[in-house]
Amino acid sequence: MAPPFSWCSSTIRMLAGISSLPKTHMPTSIPRSQLPSTISVNVSTSGPTYPTHALAVSASKSPSGNEHLMIFPVHSLVLASHCATLPRLPNAIPGGPTTVNMPVLPLSLPSPAAFSILHQFMYHHRLDAVLQALFPLPSAFLHNLSHQTVQSTLASGTMLHQLSTYLCTSASSNLTTLTQHAAHVKELWQDMVALGLYDPELWDTVDLAWEVVLGAMNLAAAQR
């Protein structure tokens, strides 16, 4: 099954649009009390496809008040093609030749930090990047990682054991460290559920991460 939004020239232009936003004017976080309805940024070129909106992501369980919301520039097309349960986006605001106007959508998710992984995945669909963001794995396994490799690894007890052993060793068999890795996988899964992100490749990759980290925890526990 092909991803809902595949890697192509338009995706490259969108990624270029995000990376071209001046970092001095594009905030990465904003206090809730100062959250604007629109973020406007001056740009120097009209070549890339600039983001249409900005997501202001907060944690579902965070107390209301002056907490900082993480800001993610996004394209409405990318969000619509991936997220089935996303709230309605504000209407786009046309910009000028050198101005990008991004209406802000406040969004509450279980883990704003985990959303950064999903934000990247929705553009480049790199399964290796998802796993790398969760915990260490052998570079040889991650190189050119495909959905087929993920599926075959899930079906192989030997491969799962090898990956779990690698992770356990990288964590020095520390159960606290491995528990933190497991929490990151769970947080990613929770964000996927909250957004209605039903990409089969991503779900299988998260399943693989869960199996590997549980195996590593079992190995560490057996050494005590």
What is the residue-averaged pLDDT of the chain?
A: 92
**pLDDT value for 2:** 42
pLDDT at 3 over 80: no
Question: What's the pLDDT at 74?
Answer: 97
**pTM, 2 dp:** 0.91
The DSSP 8-state label assigned to residue 83 in this structure reads: B
> Please, is 37 exposed, middle or buried when counting C-beta atoms within 10 Å of its C-beta (0-12, 13-18, 19+)?
exposed
Per-residue pLDDT tens over the stretch 165-220: 999 999 999 999 999 999 999 999 999 999 999 999 999 999 999 999 999 999 99
Per-residue pLDDT tens over the stretch 37-77:
999 999 887 778 999 999 999 998 766 666 889 999 999 99
φ, ψ at 57 (rounded to 5°): -100, 130
What gap in Å lies between CA 1 and CA 24, rounded to an integer?
40
Integer Cα distance of 207 and 215 in angstroms: 12
| Strands 99-109, 53-59: pairing kind | parallel
Q: Do the Cβ atoms of 103 and 91 come closer than 8 Å?
A: yes
Q: Is 94 exposed, middle or buried (0-12, 13-18, 19+ CB in 10 A)?
A: exposed
In the DSSP assignment, the letter for residue 197 is: B
Are 185 and 210 in contact, with CB atoms under 8 Å apart? yes
Please state the rounded mean pLDDT for residues 11-31. 90
Average pLDDT over residues 149-168: 98
pLDDT score recorded for residue 4: 47
Q: Torsion angle, CA of 147/151/156/158, rounded to 10 degrees?
A: 30
For residue 5, what pLDDT is reported? 46
Looking at residue 63, what is its pLDDT?
A: 63
